[in-house]
Amino acid sequence: MRIHLTSVFVDDQDKALRFYTDVLGFVKKTEVPVGEDRWLTVVSPEDPDGTELLLEPDRHPAVRPYKEALVQDGIPAASFAVEDVRAEFDRLRGLGVRFTQEPLEMGQVTTAVLDDTCGNLIQIVHSK
């Protein structure tokens, strides 16, 4: 068994697609109309057949309070692996990305947390 798909709830699919592709560097894999929304996924360009991230609309009434509570408590909605947290932090900050946590080393793990502009905090992480 392996993870095939996971999702983040986003407040605007177009804005999310731009951020996740143009800023974070993912590539669009699937875009299928579903009513007024889309089944919209992105993947890592390093693993195009790997785990897909669904950019899922956050219109369900339970989602917005959930997202707001996570952000208020500083809890990331997702975690993405990077080779060098400090380098990625510098690259993303140079693109105007807002971080809520600068790179932090915790033993064998280094993390940073960013705002995805779509209502979520996202962690970037590297494990030694």
Q: CATH number, domain at 29?
A: 3.10.180.10
Runs of H (alpha helix) within the chain: 13-18, 63-72, 85-94
Distances (CA, A) of 28 to 32, 42, 115: 11, 4, 20
Tally the C-alpha atoms within 13 A of residue 84's C-alpha that lie toward its C-beta. Answer: 6
The model's pLDDT over 35-92, given as tens digits with 9 standing for 90+, comes to 999 999 999 999 999 999 999 999 999 999 999 999 999 999 999 999 999 999 999 9
Q: How many domains does the chain have?
A: 1
pTM of the model: 0.95
Structural domain range at position 55: 5-127
